[in-house]
Amino acid sequence: MLITQSAGKFLKRNSTIQLGNNQVDLSIPVVMGIVNITPDSFYDGGKMEDEVTMLKAVEEMVENGVSIIDVGAVSTRPGAEAVSTKVELGRLLPAVQAIHKNFPEIPISIDTFRSWVAVRVVDEIGPVIVNDVSGGILDSKMFETMAQLQVPYVLSHIQGTLKNMQDSPEYTDIIKEISTYFAEKVKKLNKLGVKDVIIDPGFGFGKNLDHNYELLNRLDAFKVFQLPVMVGLSRKSMIWKALDVTPETALNGTSVANTLALLGGADILRVHDVKEAVEAVKIFCEIKASIH
């Protein structure tokens, strides 16, 4: 099975990722829909705690053209309370099982920084994408586990830890420092035999407002890695603070930021609002198709 979206082809190196026997086509940008099974996430905490509500939300995402569902059971907002592996698995496993059962054709990503959680989920439902906001920092076994599982890995940049990352982030040259971070970690992953690596510059993870916008403005610098780039801007503080609104009213700003990210080379948009992101991708594809 080849998972695709209908639009023009803009092929590049590493334009697919392997998920078990299936391929996820990234030759044009795709949308990853966020499903937070948490009581305390910054925007949608507590909204999907029961299975019926969650599956209805996933169904709507599928109808609106989502390509990947990203399920998280631990809030990674700045200052969020830590939860145990047991609690995380207790939330996550039933959710991914239900989504896989009801939407077997949709690739699943799990938002976790724990290698054991990844092992348990793969044992239960098969290959998934592992979206690790810590870039292996919070679990020293994550990289070798990814090599053993042979599943796609989202390598995110973070400065500091989830608890202190927003206290006082500092960079001399943010692009250079993040690029060095990626170069070192991608080398380690490749050496271990991890075949599919997606890089995420980590908007909001150890970055202030100015850092985030410099990163967005220079996103195309990461094309040098010739790896898929994932961007998560959806309703984040860099948008609602700049507009002096709230996360709940930051959808228009999110769409603008997502469009700029696409122009900068983003391959995956990780979002709460799938319909609007898919529309941004379609407009982007029309622009690309008009270039001769």
For 66-102, the pLDDT digits (tens) are 999 999 998 776 666 678 999 999 999 999 999 999 9
Boundaries of domain holding 160: 2-8+15-289
Task: Map residue 175 onto helix, strand or coil.
Answer: helix
Question: What is the amino acid identity at position 271?
Answer: V
CATH number, domain of 136, equals: 3.20.20.20
pLDDT band, residue 10 (cuts 50/70/90): very low
Does 210 have pLDDT greater than 60? yes
pLDDT band, residue 60 (cuts 50/70/90): very high
Q: How far is CA 53 from CA 28, 43, 67, 94, 179, in A?
A: 30, 16, 20, 14, 40
Task: Map residue 131 onto helix, strand or coil.
Answer: strand
Residue 200 CA to residue 136 CA, distance in Å, equals: 13
Residue 237 CA to residue 259 CA, distance in Å, equals: 17
pLDDT of residue 169: 76
Query: Hey, what are 4's tokens?
Result: 């695709």
Active site residue 236: yes
Residue 100 CA to residue 127 CA, distance in Å, equals: 11
Residue 125 CA to residue 130 CA, distance in Å, equals: 13
Cα angle for residues 74, 80, 85 (degrees, 5° grid) = 35
Nearest Cα neighbor of 115 from 71, 83, 147 is 147
Q: What mean pLDDT is predicted for residues 241-249? A: 94
Counted domains in the chain: 1
pLDDT of residue 45: 47
Q: Of 12, 235, 270, 275, which is the active-site residue? A: 270
Q: What mean pLDDT is predicted for residues 119-136? A: 97
pLDDT band, residue 120 (cuts 50/70/90): very high
Active site residue 86: no
For 144-169, the pLDDT digits (tens) are 999 999 999 999 999 866 665 566 77
State if pTM tops 0.85.
Answer: yes
List, in sequence order, every beta strand (DSSP E) within the chain: 2-3, 16-19, 22-25, 30-36, 68-72, 108-111, 129-132, 153-156, 197-200, 230-231, 268-271
Residue 44 CA to residue 30 CA, distance in Å, equals: 22
Q: Of 91, 120, 236, 275, which is the active-site residue? A: 236
Q: What is the mean pLDDT of the chain?
A: 89
pLDDT of residue 78: 65
